[in-house]
Amino acid sequence: MLVAITRGVSARIGACELTHLSRNAIDMDLARAQHRAYESALAALGCRVDSLPALDDLPDSVFVEDAAIVLDEIAIVTRPGAESRRPEAALIAPVLANYRRVTFIQAPGTLDGGDVLRLGRRLFVGQSGRSNESGIEQLRAVAWPYGYTVTAVPVRGCLHLKSAITEVAPGVVLVNPAWVDASAFGHVTVMGVDPGEPYGANGLLIGDRLLYPESFPATSRRLEDAGVDVVPVDVSEIQKAEGAVTCCSLVFSAQE
C-alpha cells in the first residue's frame, strides 16, 4: 500500500515565497478544486491519501514535499531554506511518526525535499538556494547506514532540483538541460522537455504511471510517444506559487 500525505491549500497561498516567477493572482476556489482533483488522482493511482488540514498562517504549506524526505527505513524532517517555511517541518513530524522513525536536519543545515531526487538507492540533492552543504552532509550521514549514496548536483535557473529533473519511468528521467547536467545522474535514459516548456520536467511517478501537468502538452506528447503512461492533472493555480506535481504530496510505502 502506498500512502500519499497531502495538505490543503492555505488561504494565504497568494503570499507564498517566489524566487523565479512573477507574482500573479491565484484563484483560491480553483486552486482548492485543482488540489482536490490532484488528491483524487493519487487515490485512483492506488494511494491511500492522508489529507491534512490547511494551515492558513503558512502560505506555502500545501507543498508538503519540501518538509520531509521519506525513505523505506526512516523519515528525515527537513529544515527548509526559506525561514518562513520552517514551521511546516515541525508540523509534519508527528504525522510521519505514524509511519517511520523520524530524524531532523539541524541548524545550520537547510534542505528542501524538492531538492532530493531518489533513483533506487541513489539520492541526488540539488545545490540550490534552498539546500546548503550542511543539510546535504546531514542527509548523507543519515542515509548512508541504510545503503544510500548521496550526490550533490549543481542546479541553475530554477527553484529545486526536481524543477529540472524527475524520474518519469523506471530508469528514465525527464530533464531541462538548461537547469541541470543530466550526466551527473549516471546510467539513466534521458528525455528532454520541449524547449518551449522549460518547467515541464516535473512529473510524479507512481508505480508505472506518471501524474503530469496538463500545462505542458508538447512534453506530454514526447512522453506518450516514448511509451510513458501519462495521467494528466490540472495544477495551473498551484504552478503560480512555483509549485508542481511532486511538491504537493509525500508518497511512500506504508510497509504494513
Cβ atoms 206, 46 nearer than 8 A: yes
- Per-residue exposure over 227-246, b if at least 16 CB sit within 10 Å of its own CB, e if not: ebebbebbbebbbbbbbbbb
What is the Cα–Cα distance from 12 to 118, expressed in whole angstroms? 31
Query: Taking the CB of residue 115, how many other CB atoms lie within 10 A of it?
Result: 31
Residue entry with cell 537547469: 179
Burial class (CB in 10 A: 0-12, 13-18, 19+), 196: exposed
- Identity of residue 74: I
Catalytic one of 20, 160, 187, 248: 160
Q: How far apart are CA 174 and CA 251, in angstroms?
A: 19
The active-site residue, picked from 16, 158, 247, 248, is 247
Is 35 considered catalytic here? no
Q: Which residues, including other chains, have CB under 8 Å from residue 127's CB and lie 6 or more apart?
A: 133, 136, 152, 153, 154, 155
Give the C-alpha separation, 184 to 173, whole Å: 12
Residue 160 a catalytic site member: yes
* Enzyme catalytic residues: 160, 247
